Structure formats: C-alpha cells, structure tokens
C-alpha cells in the first residue's frame, strides 16, 4: 500500500507563553514526516480571544499535505502539542502551543472528537488574517464564502504583522 500524501490540510498555530515565536517555529518544524508543509503565513500578534486576561498571542497558518485520515491526524497533533510542552489549562486560556485543524480537503465532519471545518474559524480574526496570506480564495464548504470574504466580515482590530 502506498501512502497517499494528497490530503490538503490547513492548520492554525498559536502561542502566548514564553518565546512565542520559537514555539511556532518548533511546531512547524515538528510536523513532518506525517505532514509535508507546503506554505505558511506570516506571523501575527493578536489579542487574546475568549479569555482576555492573558498575554498577546502569536498566530500563524500552515498549509500541508498528509497521508493521515482526520482522526489519526487529530491524535498526532495532540501528541505533538504535548511533546512541545503544552499543558492543559482551560478553554481559551494561555498556552505554550495550540494547533488546530481548520480544513481537511473540503471535508465536512462533525463527530465528538473532531469538527471540520473548525467550528468558529469564520468568526476569528486571529485565524482568518494568517489564513488569508496562504488561502485567500479557498471557499469554506459550509459558509460558502472565501477566506478573504469571511475576514472582511470579521473583527481584525488589534492584529498586527509580527515578522
């Protein structure tokens, strides 16, 4: 059996603890061999979302190919976050590294462990701004809008290019 590396995935990466930039870089370099990074966005400094009593985040989007199916990919990413030093906190709390699957091909999946496309990506500027760098014309399979169109409808105040 040959491994199919043809699945295209878009990931969102974020960090707001310690050397945020180094954490993003380390996370991207840790994706292979299960994923081949094809392109990555610029890095943006973004205000915290949900729970605001914490430091600014650095966020980045990555497009990669993978042979993993969605649930094994999620398990791999969760193991990777722990290997990189992530500790469990609370929803929207501070984190050393956070990696979310935004899109997996044009799959629509809603299972207890995994929702694809990511449930709230269309309302989060910290996801849409970096994603616009690498996939501005990609159309959200449920919202039926491009990444650029969703970003234009979203609050992006306080988001600045970091590098």
Would you please indicate which residues are annotated as catalytic (active-site) residues? 86, 95, 98, 100
Taking the C-alpha atoms of residue 92 and residue 78, their distance in angstroms, rounded to an integer, is 16
User: Taking a C-beta distance cutoff of 8 angstroms, is the pair 127, 118 a contact?
Assistant: yes
> Dmax over Cα atoms in the chain, in whole Å?
50
Tokens describing residue 54: 């914490």
Tokens describing residue 158: 């306080």
Q: What angle do CA 85, 87, 89 make, to 5 degrees?
A: 150
Question: Which of 81, 90, 153, 150 has its CA nearest to residue 118?
Answer: 150
């Amino acid at each position: 059996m040959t491994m199919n590396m043809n699945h295209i995935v878009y990931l969102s990466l974020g960090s707001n603890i310690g050397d945020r930039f180094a954490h993003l870089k380390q996370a991207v370099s840790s994706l292979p061999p299960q994923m081949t990074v094809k392109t990555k966005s610029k890095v943006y400094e973004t205000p915290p979302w949900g729970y605001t009593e914490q430091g600014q985040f650095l966020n980045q989007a990555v497009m990669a190919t993978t042979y993993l199916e969605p649930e094994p990919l999620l398990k791999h990413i969760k193991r990777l976050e722990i290997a990189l030093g992530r500790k469990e906190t609370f929803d929207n709390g501070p984190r050393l590294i956070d990696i979310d699957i935004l899109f997996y091909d044009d799959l629509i999946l809603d299972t207890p462990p995994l929702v694809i496309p990511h449930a709230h990506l269309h309302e989060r500027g910290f996801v849409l701004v970096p994603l616009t760098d690498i996939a501005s014309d990609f159309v959200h399979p449920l919202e039926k809008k491009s990444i650029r169109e969703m970003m234009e409808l979203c609050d992006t105040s306080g988001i600045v290019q970091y590098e």
